[in-house]
Structure 1
Amino acid sequence: MLRDLVLANRTYRRFYEDIKIEREVLEDLIDLARLSSSGANLQPLKYILSYSEESNNFIFPNLKWAGYLKDWDGPSVGERPTAYIVMLLDKNISKNPMWDHGIACQSILLGAAEKGLGGCMFGSVDRAEVAKAFNIPENLEVLLVIALGKPKEEIVLEDIKDPKDVKYWRDENQVHHVPKRKLEDLLIN
């Protein structure tokens, strides 16, 4: 069911680094994005697939992990993602991605959840360094990066206690807690 996939689709930041993701799996995920809706049907998104240790090592240090976890610099060796998708905007097609990258990310991450994988979207990326590492031409703009792997952490959703405090946190057992607003707090009528 879709609800089960949505619940499985959490923002994972620790992975089993020994479980690799093959190119064919990444291509399947991009195919889901390709089939998703696109503003004005322009389809301006392009992708770089990274699934080798060498190319993953170019991407990893250029991501900023878990802003609310001030004492954590990201996953340690053995817990890092085994694949990345760099999402690009082809400015020769459109200068405005509209909402396409959000729809594409959701399709990719739901597809990953269906395969028993998990991921994390990064808007906080050193775009210039990623562009340089992959020789990305100027007409392609780095929009975001999706890290992927077999999740190695437990994530618990809980009702938000203070509407002004949306910060996720980890307990002493490294269980990742994510506060969510209640349905009745979202509905206006």
Structure 2
Amino acid sequence: MIIDILKEIRSHRSFSSKKISIEDLRKMVESTRYASATRNAQKIRYVLINNEELCKKIFPLVKFAGAISWNPSVEEAPKAYILMCSENPLNNFTENHLYFDMGIASHNIFLVANELGFSGCIVGAYNKIEVDKLVNLPEGYKSHILLALGEPTDTVTVTECKDGVTTYWRDDKNHHFVPKLSLKEISLLEK
């Protein structure tokens, strides 16, 4: 059932040494062609990155867990990235719409990644100026979101939220805990 697959799709931040091929990255991005998009404008553009040297240069420019002061070690670093970009400036389109569309597209990417044995993390906290330079992003474009990808080595467990606290945490055994609000807490009204 689809709900079981959705429960598997977690944000992973520690990865094995297994490489991700450009072909697998293409399959992930291919899935975005079938995603809903505001006004069907299809404003997102992608940079597919699996070059080992480039991945090593991007890694120190990324903050992987905004709610905690943890980052993966160099040995646990992602083996690929997908950079989500748009024209700059956006024409007749808002950044809110763009981020909405990137959320849908990211989810499609992670569904395909999961099917291929990979996972990853949506990252907004990275040095956008430096990463854009490293990938030689064409003039007239800017990046917004970086998807860090690899074969996960960490364990991610969904837990019940206590007292409305949704902050995730990580133990010293590479186990990440993600508290989720109950259905009752997220359902505002039923009429």
Considering the TM-score relative to the shorter chain, is it more than 0.5?
yes
1:129 corresponds to: 130
Secondary structure (helix, strand or coil) at the match of 1:167 reads coil
Q: Deviations over 1:77-113 (max 9, x none)?
A: 3211111000101247645351211111111011111
Task: Report if aligned partners of 1:47, 1:86 keep a CA contact under 8 Å in 2.
Answer: yes
Q: Which amino acid in structure 1 is aligned with residue 168 of structure 2?
A: Y
Separation of aligned partners in 1, 2:88 and 2:40: 15
Supply the AA of the counterpart residue of 1:135.
N
In the aligned structure 2, how far is the partner of 1:38 from the partner of 1:174?
36
Q: Distance in 2 between matches of 1:172 and 1:53?
A: 27
Instruction: Quickly say closer, same or farther: Cα 1:61–1:171, change in 2 above 3 A.
Output: closer
Judging changes above 3 Å, is the alpha-carbon distance between structure 1 residues 43 and 91 closer, same or farther for their aligned structure 2 residues? farther
Larger helix fraction of residues: 2
Question: Which residue in the other structure is 2:94 paired with?
Answer: 96
Match of 1:45 in 2: 44
TM-score (norm 2): 0.91
1:106-129 CA-partner distances (Å, limit 9, x unpaired): 110111112221110011121100
Equivalent positions of 1:75-86 (< 5 A) are 75-86=72-83
Q: Kindly report the root-mean-square deviation, in angstroms, between the aligned alpha carbons of the 2 structures.
A: 1.5
Using the aligned pairs only, state the percent identity. 36
Deviation digits for residues 63-82 of structure 1, max 9, x if unmatched? 11212222x2x211321111
Task: Measure the CA separation in 1 of the matches of 2:60 and 2:177.
Answer: 25
Which residue pairs with 2:6 in the alignment?
6
Q: Determine the structure 1 residue equivalent to 2:145.
A: 144
Check conservation: 2:66, 2:125, Cα contact below 8 A.
Answer: no
* Corresponding position of 2:84: 87
CA contact (8 A) 2:167 2:179 kept: yes
The 1-side partners of 2:51 and 2:5 are apart by: 27
Taking the aligned partners of 2:56 and 2:172, their CA distance within structure 1 comes to 29
2:158 counterpart SS class:
strand
After TM superposition, the runs of 4+ consecutive aligned structure 1 residues lying more than 4 A away are none
Q: How does 1:14-93 map to 2 (within 5 A)?
A: 14-16=14-16, 18-70=17-69, 72=70, 74-91=71-88
The one-letter code of the counterpart of 1:156 is T
Shift, 1:46, TM fit: 0.8
* Total equivalences in the alignment: 185
- Conserved in 2, the CA contact under 8 Å of 1:5 and 1:114? no
1:143-162, aligned counterparts within 5 Å?
143-162=144-163
CA separation in 2, counterparts of 1:175 and 1:141? 34
